């Protein structure tokens, strides 16, 4: 299983709304367009649920870049556009305090057939991380002890 | 979490679509070694009957109580597999779907190892989430199988009838003393030429005779509480002031006259009145707004009438708003309206002709009319910076959609009744868009109507002619059909094709918490996804309260509204997805940040509870009003609130699984 | 012969038919939805972005498509055509022909391996002939159901697909099969077709390579389209001057289509706005007689287009020819200036109108003068056809846009539901109105 032991240099977490980015990622797949494989997409209903600490925690655990792909003003939720923007700004403050490059966290409006914008965001983040390196260069990763011995 | 998780993990080949890139067997092997995983399998195509049966068997035989599937996009087969686990007796929310095709194999086809690593991480994240899955039930709310329809115009009537014909009970509330709304003020209607009042009375008959419809006339909605399925409604019904026995006699004895708004104040009527012959109810009513309180002679006795208003309360599951429109009233001086006696609106002309059915010639204010000028788009299609602002500082920049056809229809009527009239039609675009509408345009062209096309930036002007002129008014207009030639048209009558605006329903808007658009009409959630529903669950729109429409369109919207009401309430239960906020009372200390963050009315509130003999404040969610957006989750300092099915703990576990090195994953035995 | 019993049969799986089926299904009725193409979605699924909100069309259509496929009360029959409707008054027997897919729909998983293997490419009708697909294929990426269909007309019978199919679904022996549906009510949602591009000789009768129909432009603009960008079909050049000819096929007595098609003004404006987005240098001119932006929010949409720089020219286009390099030349009578001019463009789009999609005779219905279903009482029951129990939804009842199609679809569902109740012994609660 040696080929599995390889570690990708960086890891990009993509939190994508079901009504937007997640469907956009599916559309990209339907078009069979390649992008880097260090991208981990998790579906979310609406990103306003994430407190800024969540992003910090993710960086501390070793996530190198986070793309928040939301539906912006097209969202089915009233608060999505304004609320998410606010949380992201708060997160930037916390990131600055901790010396994390704020470009590691990015908010992008992606709709269900936004294939090109999706690719652009992913590739930009990938290129950025190539340049600035893993998050461990900026903060000491805190591998979750609890997670090694899962409940 | 009650039972210990026993997770079944399934990695699908998707007939090669996934397995050509992702080494599915390796993924399955790593997954098999994860804690709590009791079985990890691969399959050529899981969605096939055989694949689904395998999952069912594992649930039954191995006691699998959480299912994680890595396959095509969840949007394709999530419902399929939810049904699969349900068939095997598992709660549908104890299943998690990971997209390995659209988001992995299809996009990393040149990077098999990378794709396999990604699959391992995504599947581990799925397993991590599965540990935190709780069984969920859809939120079921008892729904009152009764609807409220506000407004007794053609839209409200049709909506009420359609809802009742589908088995629900309906309360129809009309503010004025008579049913029918604006349609009753029309004569023959396009595109069929039928008599509006006859069409209406057929509809009204069906409505008032329907066993499941209760009609409240002269009634206002004064209070709204509750939520979808169970709205509490307060009504106030004004007294009619007369009885079946004394109604006609009182009306006969009444001597107070007021302008008759049914005829747009062209005529007067008594303060105890019927708007027209054949109206419903046939009993006269007292116009309380104008009644001067003086006594009325009845059989030699003096009677003073009093409004004995009666309150009612009812519970309804849904509310249809069909409060209709008002014709636009031009400002004084707009095209000479209100200043020059020979300027009228189209609505006024319709009433004028209806009041004088036998007239051999067209007269306006006593004057024989030979030259008529019709002006389109009055109070519609206004341009900011060009047209005067309306009272609220906006311009009516929308098209009122009925006025073009109504105007051309009127031209046909005028030509039929008063041959020899000279008619000029001043328009921007002729919008006879509907079936049977273009015919009126062609008819007007062939009957010799002179069409003049004006430009919205340069509207026609109506001025008084000099004394002694052949005609009382002059219309100045630049005609784009003849190279912007300036015309001066002498006219005996100028008819303004005024547009539509919503009725004044500020109180109702406030009570129902519905939104209005820039055009002030009530706003739908989404013109295509949910064209007749408002953002407030259970509040539905019908007819011209939503925007300009003709009769046919109002009826269609009303029936569509009925379909929504019946879908919502037909089963007696309203079912909402369980993804709503839930408070962990043990962690909540009543800070109330969640209440502040929430944008949904009535979704979350602080309530005083007694805990260990002490009064404490705790956040309480009303699931029916919660959208599940999670704005409360991110602000809670105690992590005491979560969106069910999408908890922060689940996300953290997923992030940890993704962040973990594969070495650790492989070794995490 | 198999026989199916339902409360309502919806014919046509465009946006209107899907909405009617969903509304009826949500109310608990058994519904059969019959669609003659291999996938539901109708014309709408081929569009790019849709007015007036300019949201992307797939985002609105695909959830409805999968909803009809997964609804427990809806039986979906794709690639099936209604042949005949017998019976009356709430007791209809409808015979339906299942066309052969040459793929076993019960076991096909939509993995598309057959498609990748097929050596034949065929002009894609989904892309209006602009792109291509294989003789065996899943109809398009978001098709519902995701089941392959084999185009026997183009098939070489090489058998490659049969060999590669992991579940053995390819079956060359299929033949058309007829089955019957017993139903209480029928909703006709068979939709529209565009007016014939070749009918108007003056506009080149469909033979000018850079004069296209508007659905082609939709495909150029669609994110799922064949090229992912706007180009001239004649030579692949990116156009910089584009003209729209309004009422090309409507309001035209010489074509016998005197009515207004009511959507073409709006889609032309929409497309111009999208073109301005896709090709920032492009200049779009719309030649029109009347701009009919009558719907909610539509006038504002028109004004926005004007503000964006779309040129609106009032004039009747007399003819379109092309120069030696196939650049279309538009000859137009400018009413505002009173002269006739000729202007050359890179690309011309004809704003074609709408005609009835499918003949009415097999449903026992009479067309009205305009060819669409005759509706005898539009000001009382605008969904009712001449045949009791048969209702109409969407563009089968006349030209209209998506918003109106959806509203008429829900209205037809309401009417059908009331009708079904009146014909069957649904236990109706005869409750009186309750108030306290
Ligand atoms: C000049 C003119 C000519 C027209 N000619 C034609 C034609 O020929 N053919 C055609 O198809 N259409 C025509 N129309 C359009 C037609 O009048 C409308 O489509 C139709 O009347 C709309 O019906 P409605 O039920 O939506 O609204 P309305 O008729 O306005 O009914 C609304 C009802 O709600 C009641 N209401 C309001 N507020 C409240 C409240 N708070 N509580 C309780 N009740 C309330 C009102 O009293 C009224 O009875 C014409 C319109 C105009 C202006
Ligand atoms: C170029 C263009 C652009 C447009 N853009 C917009 C826009 O931006 N916004 C907007 O609102 N509207 C737009 N429209 C209008 C929109 O396309 C229509 O309003 C809508 O698609 C009509 O839907 P429908 O369901 O009535 O008909 P259709 O989409 O035609 O669906 C009818 C369905 O019935 C099936 N069928 C037909 N006959 C049978 C039969 N005998 N048996 C079984 N099935 C059958 C057909 O295969 C089809 O799937 C546009 C139209 C065009 C031409
Ligand atoms: S329908 Fe005609 S008159 Fe009325 S606002 Fe629209 S364009 Fe003007
Ligand atoms: S909608 Fe516009 S282009 Fe289409 S027929 Fe009507 S007026 Fe002509």
Q: Counting beta carbons within 10 angstroms of the beta carbon of residue B3, is it exposed (0 to 12), middle (13 to 18) or buried (19 or more)?
A: exposed
The answer to whether the CB atoms of A40 and B107 lie below 8 A apart is no
The answer to whether the CB atoms of A147 and B627 lie below 8 A apart is no
Q: Which CATH number fits domain A10-149: 3.40.50, 2.60.40, 1.10.1740, 2.30.30?
A: 3.40.50
Same domain, B349 and B484: yes
The answer to whether the CB atoms of C408 and B556 lie below 8 A apart is yes
Residues with CB under 6 A from ligand 1: B 150-156, 173-176, 181-183, 186, 189-190, 220-221, 322-325, 327, 346-347, 350, 402, 406, 409, 503, 505, 508, 543-544, 549-552, 554
Nearest to C149 by CA among C116, C96, C100: C100
The lowest-confidence range among B137-141, B246-250, C173-177 is B137-141
What CATH number is given to the structural domain containing B561?
Answer: 3.50.50.60
Question: Using a CB-CB distance cutoff of 8 angstroms, which residues of chain C are in contact with residue B528?
Answer: 50, 53, 55, 60, 402-403, 406
**E strand spans, C213-273:** 241-245
Number of domains in chain B: 5
Atom from ligand 2 closest to the CA of residue C57: 8
Nearest to C98 by CA among C82, C117, C87, C86: C82
Residue ID of nearest Cα to ligand 4 atom 1: C262
Q: What is the per-residue pLDDT for B226?
A: 85
Tell me the per-residue pLDDT of B462-518, one tens digit each, with 9 for 90 and over.
999 998 899 999 999 999 988 889 999 999 999 999 999 999 999 999 899 888 888
The answer to whether the CB atoms of C430 and B531 lie below 8 A apart is no
Same domain, B271 and B316: no
B523 within a domain of the structure (yes/no): yes
The answer to whether the CB atoms of C296 and B213 lie below 8 A apart is no
Same domain, B346 and B483: yes
Among the candidates B556, B573, B590, a domain finishes at B573
Between the CA of C290 and the centroid of ligand 3 the distance, in Å, is: 11
Same domain, B477 and B414: yes
Q: State pTM to two decimals.
A: 0.85
Distances (CA, A) of A65 to A47, B107, B115, C65, C428: 16, 19, 19, 35, 59
Nearest residue in chain B measured CA to CA from C435: B314
- B133 CB within 6 A, ligand 3: no
- The helix/strand/coil state of C430 is coil
Between the CA of C43 and the centroid of ligand 2 the distance, in Å, is: 4
Atom from ligand 1 closest to the CA of residue B179: 49
**In chain C, where the domains are located:** 3-99+176-191+357-429, 113-164, 196-353
What CATH number is given to the structural domain containing B13?
Answer: 3.40.50
Percentage of chain A with pLDDT > 90? Answer: 60
Q: Could you tell me how far CA B174 lies from the centroid of its own chain?
A: 19
Same domain, B556 and B585: no
The answer to whether the CB atoms of C27 and B431 lie below 8 A apart is no
Same domain, B131 and B168: no
Tokens describing residue A75? 């969202």
Tell me the per-residue pLDDT of B117-162, one tens digit each, with 9 for 90 and over.
999 999 999 999 999 999 999 888 889 999 999 999 999 999 999 9
Q: Could you tell me how far CA C112 lies from the centroid of its own chain?
A: 25
B573 touching C (Cβ < 8 Å): no
Same domain, B379 and B452: yes
Tell me the per-residue pLDDT of B30-44, one tens digit each, with 9 for 90 and over.
999 999 999 999 988
Q: Which residues contact B506 (CB under 8 A, 6 or more apart)?
A: none
Does domain C3-99+176-191+357-429 fall into CATH 3.10.110.10? no
Chain B, residues 19-58, CB within 8 A of chain C, namely: 44-45, 47-48
C414 touching A (Cβ < 8 Å): no
Distance from CA of B569 to the nearest CA of A (A): 23
ipTM surpassing 0.90, yes or no? yes
| Most confident of the ranges A112-116, C262-266, C364-368 | C262-266
Same domain, B107 and B195: no
- Ligand nearest to the CA of residue C261, numbered in listed order: 4
B2 within a domain of the structure (yes/no): no
Nearest to B632 by CA among B583, B587, B666, B667: B583
- C262 CB within 6 A, ligand 4: yes
Among the candidates B96, B115, B138, a domain finishes at B138
Domain that holds residue B155: 146-237+310-324+513-573
Beta carbons of B647 and B639 less than 8 angstroms apart? no
B508 within a domain of the structure (yes/no): no
Residue A106 predicted with pLDDT over 70? yes
Same domain, B319 and B331: no
Same domain, B340 and B430: yes
Q: Which helix (DSSP H) or strand (DSSP E) does residue A54 occupy?
A: helix A52-61
Residue ID of nearest Cα to ligand 4 atom 8: C247
- The helix/strand/coil state of B53 is helix
Q: Say which of B36, B110, B631 has its CB closest to residue A83.
A: B631
**In chain A, where the domains are located:** 10-149
Q: What is the per-residue pLDDT for A147?
A: 41
Q: What is the per-residue pLDDT for C49?
A: 87
Q: What is the per-residue pLDDT for C218?
A: 96
- Ligand nearest to the CA of residue B503, numbered in listed order: 1
The class level of CATH for C196-353 reads: alpha beta
Residue C428 predicted with pLDDT over 60? no
B654 within a domain of the structure (yes/no): no
The answer to whether the CB atoms of A38 and B118 lie below 8 A apart is yes
B611 within a domain of the structure (yes/no): yes
Q: Is the peptide bond before B609 cis (omega within 30 degrees of 0)?
A: no
Residue ID of nearest Cα to ligand 1 atom 1: B347
Q: What is chain B's mean pLDDT, rounded? A: 93
Beta strands C136-137; C132-134: pairing state: unpaired
Between A75 and B321, the more confident residue is B321
The answer to whether the CB atoms of B107 and A33 lie below 8 A apart is yes
B207 within a domain of the structure (yes/no): yes
B226 within a domain of the structure (yes/no): yes
Tell me the per-residue pLDDT of B192-220, one tens digit each, with 9 for 90 and over.
999 999 999 999 999 999 999 999 999 99
């Amino acid at each position: 299983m040696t080929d599995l032991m390889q570690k990708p240099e960086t890891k990009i977490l993509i939190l994508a709304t079901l009504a937007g980015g997640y469907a956009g990622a599916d559309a990209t797949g339907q078009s069979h367009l390649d992008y880097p494989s260090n991208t981990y997409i998790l579906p979310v209903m609406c990103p306003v649920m994430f407190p800024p600490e969540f992003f910090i925690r993710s960086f501390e655990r070793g996530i190198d870049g986070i793309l928040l792909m939301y539906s912006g003003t097209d969202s089915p939720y009233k608060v999505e556009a304004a609320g998410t923007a606010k949380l992201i700004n708060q997160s930037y403050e916390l990131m600055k305090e901790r010396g994390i490059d704020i470009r590691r966290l990015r908010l992008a409006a992606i709709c269900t057939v936004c294939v090109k914008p999706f690719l652009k965001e992913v590739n930009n983040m990938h290129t950025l991380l190539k340049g600035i390196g893993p998050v461990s260069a900026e903060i000491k990763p805190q591998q979750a002890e609890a997670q090694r011995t899962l409940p | 979490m009650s039972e210990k998780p026993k997770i079944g993990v399934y990695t699908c080949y998707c007939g090669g679509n996934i397995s050509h890139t992702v080494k599915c067997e390796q993924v399955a092997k790593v997954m098999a070694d994860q804690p709590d995983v009791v079985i990890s399998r691969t399959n050529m195509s899981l969605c096939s009957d055989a694949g689904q049966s395998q999952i069912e068997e594992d649930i039954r035989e191995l006691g699998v109580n959480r299912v994680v599937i890595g396959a095509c996009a969840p949007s394709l087969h999530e419902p399929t597999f939810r049904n699969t686990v349900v068939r095997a007796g598992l709660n549908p929310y104890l299943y998690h779907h990971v997209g390995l095709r659209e988001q992995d194999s299809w996009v990393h086809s040149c990077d098999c190892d990378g794709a396999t690593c990604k699959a391992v991480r995504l599947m581990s994240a799925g397993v991590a989430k599965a540990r935190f899955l709780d069984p969920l039930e859809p939120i079921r709310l008892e729904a009152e199988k009764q609807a409220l329809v506000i407004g007794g115009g053609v839209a409200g009537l049709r909506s009420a009838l359609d809802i009742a014909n589908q088995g629900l009970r309906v309360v129809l509330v009309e503010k004025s003393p008579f049913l029918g709304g604006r349609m009753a003020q029309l004569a023959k209607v396009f595109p069929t030429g039928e008599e509006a009042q006859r069409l209406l009375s057929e509809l009204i008959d069906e409505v008032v005779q329907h066993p499941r419809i209760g009609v409240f006339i002269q009634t206002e909605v004064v209070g709204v509480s509750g939520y979808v399925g169970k709205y509490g409604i307060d009504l106030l019904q004004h007294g009619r002031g007369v009885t079946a026995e004394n109604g006609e006699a009182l009306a006969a004895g009444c001597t107070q006259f007021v302008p008759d708004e049914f005829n747009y104040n062209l005529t007067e009527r008594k303060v105890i009145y019927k708007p027209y012959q054949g109206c419903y109810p046939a009993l006269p009513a007292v116009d309380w707004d104008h009644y001067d309180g003086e006594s009325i002679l009845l059989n030699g006795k003096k009677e003073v009438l009093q409004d004995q208003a009666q309150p009612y309360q009812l519970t309804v599951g849904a509310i249809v708003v069909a409060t209709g429109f008002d014709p636009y009233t031009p400002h004084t001086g707009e095209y000479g309206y209100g200043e020059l006696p020979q300027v009228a609106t189209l609505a006024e002309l319709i009433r004028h002709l209806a009041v004088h059915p036998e007239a051999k010639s067209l007269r306006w204010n006593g004057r024989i009319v030979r030259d008529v000028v019709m002006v389109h788009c009055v109070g519609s299609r206004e341009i900011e910076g060009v047209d005067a602002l309306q009272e609220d500082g906006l311009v009516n920049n929308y098209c009122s959609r009925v006025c073009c056809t109504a105007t051309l229809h009127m031209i046909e009527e005028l030509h039929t009744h008063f041959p020899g009239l000279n008619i000029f039609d001043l328009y921007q675009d002729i919008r006879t868009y509907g079936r049977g509408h273009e015919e009126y345009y062609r008819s007007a062209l062939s009957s010799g109507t002179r069409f003049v096309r004006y430009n919205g930036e340069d509207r026609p002007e109506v001025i008084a002619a000099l004394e002694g002129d052949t005609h009382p008014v002059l219309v100045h207009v630049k005609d784009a059909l003849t190279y912007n030639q300036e015309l001066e048209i002498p006219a005996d009558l100028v008819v303004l094709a005024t547009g539509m605006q919503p009725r004044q329903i500020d109180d109702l808007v406030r009570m129902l918490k519905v939104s209005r658009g820039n055009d002030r009409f009530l706003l739908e959630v989404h013109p295509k996804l949910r064209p007749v529903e408002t953002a407030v669950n259970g509040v539905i729109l019908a007819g011209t309260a939503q925007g300009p429409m003709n009769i046919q369109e109002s009826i269609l919207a009303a029936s569509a509204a009925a379909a929504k009401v019946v879908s919502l309430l037909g089963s007696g239960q309203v079912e909402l997805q369980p993804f709503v906020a839930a408070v962990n009372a043990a962690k909540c200390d009543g800070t109330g940040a969640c209440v502040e963050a929430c944008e949904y009315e009535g979704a979350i509130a602080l309530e005083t509870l007694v805990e260990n003999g002490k009064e404490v404040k705790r956040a309480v969610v009303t699931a029916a009003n919660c959208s599940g957006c999670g704005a409360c989750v991110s602000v809670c300092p105690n992590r005491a609130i979560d969106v069910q099915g999408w908890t922060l703990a689940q996300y953290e576990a997923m992030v940890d699984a993704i962040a973990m090195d594969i070495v650790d994953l492989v070794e995490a035995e | 012969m198999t026989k199916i019993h339902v409360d309502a049969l919806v014919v046509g799986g465009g946006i209107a038919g899907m909405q009617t089926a969903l509304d009826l299904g949500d109310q608990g009725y058994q519904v059969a939805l019959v669609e003659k193409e291999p996938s539901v979605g109708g014309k709408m699924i081929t569009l790019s972005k849709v007015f007036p909100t300019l949201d992307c069309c797939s985002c609105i259509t695909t959830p409805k498509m999968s909803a009809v496929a997964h609804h427990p009360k809806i039986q979906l029959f794709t690639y099936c055509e209604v042949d005949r409707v017998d019976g009356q008054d709430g007791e209809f027997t409808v015979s339906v022909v299942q066309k052969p897919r040459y793929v076993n729909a019960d076991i096909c998983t939509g993995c598309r391996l057959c498609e990748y293997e097929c050596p034949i490419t065929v002009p894609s009708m989904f892309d209006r002939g602009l792109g291509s697909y294989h003789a065996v294929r899943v109809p398009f990426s978001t098709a519902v159901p995701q089941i392959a269909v084999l185009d026997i007309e183009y098939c070489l019978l090489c058998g490659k697909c049969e060999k590669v199919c992991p579940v053995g679904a390819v079956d060359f022996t299929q033949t058309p099969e007829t089955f019957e549906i017993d139903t209480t009510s029928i909703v006709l949602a068979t939709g529209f077709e565009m007016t014939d591009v070749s009918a108007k000789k003056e506009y080149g009768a469909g033979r000018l390579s850079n004069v296209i129909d508007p659905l082609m432009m939709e495909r150029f603009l669609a994110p799922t389209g064949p090229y992912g960008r706007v180009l001239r079909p004649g030579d692949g050049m990116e156009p910089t001057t584009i003209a729209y000819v309004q009422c090309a096929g409507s309001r035209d007595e010489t074509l016998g289509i005197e009515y207004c098609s009511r959507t073409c003004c709006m889609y032309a404006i929409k497309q111009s706005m999208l073109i301005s987005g896709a090709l920032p240098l492009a200049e779009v001119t719309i030649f029109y007689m009347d701009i009919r932006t009558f719907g909610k929010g539509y006038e504002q949409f028109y004004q926005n287009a004007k503000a964006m720089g779309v040129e609106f020219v009032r004039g009747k286009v007399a003819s379109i020819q092309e120069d030696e390099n196939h650049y279309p030349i538009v000859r137009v009578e400018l009413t505002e200036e009173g002269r006739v001019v000729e202007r050359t463009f890179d690309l011309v789009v004809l704003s074609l109108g709408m005609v009835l999609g499918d003949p009415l005779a097999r449903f026992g219905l009479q067309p009205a003068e305009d060819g669409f279903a005759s509706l005898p009482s539009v000001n009382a029951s605008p969904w009712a056809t001449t045949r009791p129990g048969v209702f109409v939804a969407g563009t089968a009842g006349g030209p209209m846009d998506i918003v109106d199609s959806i509203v008429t679809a829900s209205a037809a569902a309401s009417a059908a539901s009331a009708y079904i109740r009146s014909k069957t012994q649904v236990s109706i609660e005869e409750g009186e109105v309750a108030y306290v």
